Structure 1
């Protein structure tokens, strides 16, 4: 039996609503692109800064500064969910982008390692705050069974930024110096931020959570979204935080956090130190930087592949499989392969590495209600930032001790740990549902 034709007026309205939702996701994508560039630009300039003795940086101090950045991300990420619920997503997004843009400019004019580290710390606050908010936007403004794919699409921007960052460094370091790389990385925000301010709406879920029900209903209708169920008239500001632990939810929450710890240790440990470790293992400088670009190109493909598969079979299964395969490919990075083969291995490592962590976010986002999603994502990303702090430090410590060859083996073990933690989280969810 064929379906009746859709009236032209309704088809036009549906198309217009889909276009509006797409604009929201596109704006989030563009802002996360800036986040990706400013995150990975540090790793791209490290070989030049350390090799040239700029600001007195050594392997050890560079690793410490990388950890300052990720500590800033930790704080920014944890605070983002709660602050967003209090002040709204729009102000939180614009504040985070403004902060990491100004801080990146500050890195370019720093006169010493202390000043440089301080600006990277500030940069981390903004970088860490933006990602969970942008992911929550993408999941809320997608419809049907496309939430994991929407998460993957938005995170392709982060990897696109990671692929662009080494190219900016290659294009500017020799001709204009390392400072110009940071300044050039901050310039696009001057154009994109005013556009985002005009186009990005407030979240219907956050409006409802803050008691602004009429505005929430109007915003949802304006984008073709389901209306948000009204919470109590006097909502508890800490309700979203409590939801992470009530009804034996605490065990799943903690295992999600440990999985995120492993994923972000991999992302920031491998992402920051790949060029330097490859250089220390004897590869040419040009190859070492291009390895980072290929790693992130693989990440872009991985986001799309993992997102589609996760929507079909569930993101938890993809996380377990992806982390296990990541361990194998990351271990292969340290086995002294021919350059041509190594490029292939780097591509697949990136395909698995970044999208595995992104599917952790998709798992958490689909596990919690929309009104609790910002808080749940903020905390899982924030707890994961402890891994992001530890990863760069570990890489720096191994390099400083002359053990570059141990780095990839340590990160491979981290991948296996993440797979086990998500498998255990899946078990706790199954046990809880069986007990109901």
Structure 2
């Protein structure tokens, strides 16, 4: 037991190092960057949505309703994204969802009729929350069984820096009187995550056949 405890830290370190061996380091960093932008977007919008909507001229009651609709959309989004990922693949859904999220967040910077804004907020919630979850699903799919837990854990952990930075960024913009730029900044984060997860997915799909062949050779040997 004592020997096993001494090996545990080394095993954890080796698992992390494996994420950067060969050409894996670029894909690992792309996943981390996508997760950073995704959680920046999730927590930034969730934290400052009522205040940002007030700055756009909406009444307090409507601004609070936006929060409820946003979270309801998140519930629906998880159910829809899961079914869509089963059919089209988590990497593709994550990338498309981030693009739709960025479009929805940017539209919120435009003052529209309340009914239309309610719809946009709900749909943005549908895509935003599940887009981030699909990053974890993508990492899980693209990782080897022995490295899967480490890859997902570190991707989630790196994303937490974005979870801190997003609310801070929104607060800084509002404090400087640049609330109009809040939605634009969050939309850019969504587009960035779309690009990062898209590139990582393409690289992963190209590497998968090689990995499968190599695994078959090892098994047959």
SS in 2 for 1:236: helix
**Equivalence for 2:84:** 309
Q: How does 1:223-238 map to 2 (within 5 A)?
A: 236-238=11-13
Matched, 1:296 2:63: no
Deviation of 1:434 after TM superposition, in Å, equals 5.6
CA–CA distance in 1 between the matches of 2:88 and 2:25?
25
1:338 to 110, 113, 121: 113
Report the Cα distance in structure 1 between the residues aligned to 2:13 and 2:39, rounded to whole angstroms: 26
- CA displacement 1:122-150 (0-9 Å, x = unmatched): xxxxxxxxxxxxxxxxxxxxxxxxxxxxx
Higher RCO (CA-CA < 8 Å; seq separation 6+): 2
Name the structure 1 match of 2:166: 391
Q: Return closer, same or farther for 1:373/1:432 CA change in 2, 3 Å cut-off.
A: closer
Is 1:404 the counterpart of 2:171 in the alignment?
no
1:269 matched to which residue of 2?
44
Counterpart CA distance in 2 for 1:405 and 1:338 is 18
Query: Are the counterparts in 1 of residues 99 and 190 from structure 2 also a CA contact under 8 Å?
Result: yes
State how far apart, in whole Å, the 2-side matches of 1:291 and 1:322 are.
20
Could you tell me how far 1:428 is from its partner in structure 2? Answer: 1.8
Query: Is it true that 1:325 corresponds to 2:100 in the alignment?
Result: yes
Is it true that 1:356 corresponds to 2:153 in the alignment?
A: no
Question: 2-side partners of 1:301 and 1:424: how far apart?
Answer: 27
Q: How does 1:2-401 map to 2 (within 5 A)?
A: 236-401=11-176
Contact kept in structure 1, 2:36 and 2:163, CA below 8 Å: yes
CA distance in 2, matches of 1:418, 1:430: 18
CA distance in 1, matches of 2:82, 2:18: 26
* Equivalent position of 2:219 in the other structure: none
Q: Would you say the 8 A contact 1:260–1:418 is kept in 2?
A: yes
Question: After the TM superposition, which parts of structure 1 deviate over 4 Å for at least 4 consecutive aligned residues?
Answer: none
Describe the SS at the equivalent of 2:154: helix
Is this contact kept in 2: 1:248–1:432, CA < 8 A? no
SS of the residue aligned with 2:22? coil
Q: Helix, strand or coil for the counterpart of 1:335? A: coil
Q: Does 1:414 align with 2:192?
A: no
| CA displacement at 1:236 relative to structure 2 | 2.6
Structure 1 regions of 5+ residues with no counterpart? 1-209, 212-234
- 1:279 Cα deviation (Å)? 1.9
Which residue of structure 2 lines up, in the alignment, with residue 424 of structure 1? 199
In the TM superposition, residue 423 of structure 1 has moved relative to its aligned partner by 1.5
TM-score with structure 2 setting the length = 0.85
Q: Is the 8 A contact 1:259 1:421 kept in 2?
A: yes
Q: Does the Cα contact within 8 Å between 1:258 and 1:418 map onto a contact in 2?
A: yes
Give the conservation status (yes or no) of the 8 Å contact 1:251–1:428: no
Q: TM-score, normalised by structure 1?
A: 0.45
The whole-number CA distance in structure 1 between the counterparts of 2:29 and 2:82 is 24
Aligned-residue offset at 1:366: 2.2
Structure 2: segments with no counterpart, 5+ residues: 212-221
Alpha-carbon distance in structure 2 between the residues aligned to 1:400 and 1:302:
32
Larger Cα-atom Rg: 1
Aligned-pair CA distance for 1:373: 3.1
Alignment RMSD (CA, Å): 2.0
Paired position in structure 1 for 2:218? none
Cα distance between partner residues in 2 of 1:243 and 1:290: 46
